[in-house]
Chain A
């Protein structure tokens, strides 16, 4: 079945360490997104990519980095510069290209806890 796979599901990190969250999709979608979810808040956009080898900052990009070397992969690195990284991270994708049928398909999420 097509979908989005995020890994790991749970991750613990010590302060000062960088960690990378994986996101892989087999939907042949062009656009991919990373969102951060905190209790009681809506999803906030970290980074997005409309096409391979191109990505843009979202609303809360500071302390995060991404790459888009392959269409199906969009890993997110949470760097030590991110002041409050403990959160639930969601990866999503859309077909892209301005299609009127664009809806976001989400992965199952990764929960990062900084000790």
Chain B
């Protein structure tokens, strides 16, 4: 199955810095999802995007659905230690199939 190209693979940042990560696909999606996963736990939904061009915020998180419907990005502003974890993107197509990025591992240095 298709896997999405997610970058960067890992990030080490200072507390207070902003973070940006993105996902690209060779296929069009009608939904983009961003999840956070803590070690040994299941992914938790952060933001869901349903329309091309949509820009949605959830606290310090902002995500956008690319206008080509083949990409999405997630920004985290003013990072804090509890932001540590692995962030996954996921795309859903019209056949209700989901495809996932390989994850971005975020480390926040206090």
Contact = CB atoms under 8 A, between A and B. Distances in A.
B21 interface: no
B1 A58 contact: yes
Contacts of A92: 42
A103 interface: yes
A94 interface: yes
Chain A CB within 10 A, most for which of B43, B45, B88: B43
Interface residues of A, number: 30
Which of A4, A40, A42 counts the most chain B CB atoms within 10 A?
A42
Interface string B20-54: 00000000001101010000111111001010000
Contact of B31 (A33, A44, A50, A103): A103
A11 interface: no
Contacts of A106: 35, 42-44
Main secondary structure of the interface of B (DSSP, over half): strand
Question: What range describes how many residues of B lie at the interface?
Answer: 20 to 34
A106 B35 CA distance: 10
Interface of B: 1, 3-4, 6, 30-31, 33, 35, 40-45, 48, 50, 88, 90, 92, 96, 98-103
15 contacts: A41-B3, A41-B102, A42-B6, A45-B1, A50-B96, A98-B96, A101-B48, A101-B50, A102-B31, A103-B92, A104-B33, A104-B43, A104-B98, A108-B41, A109-B40
Interface of A: 4, 6, 31, 33, 40-45, 50, 58-59, 88, 90, 92, 94, 96, 98, 100-109, 111
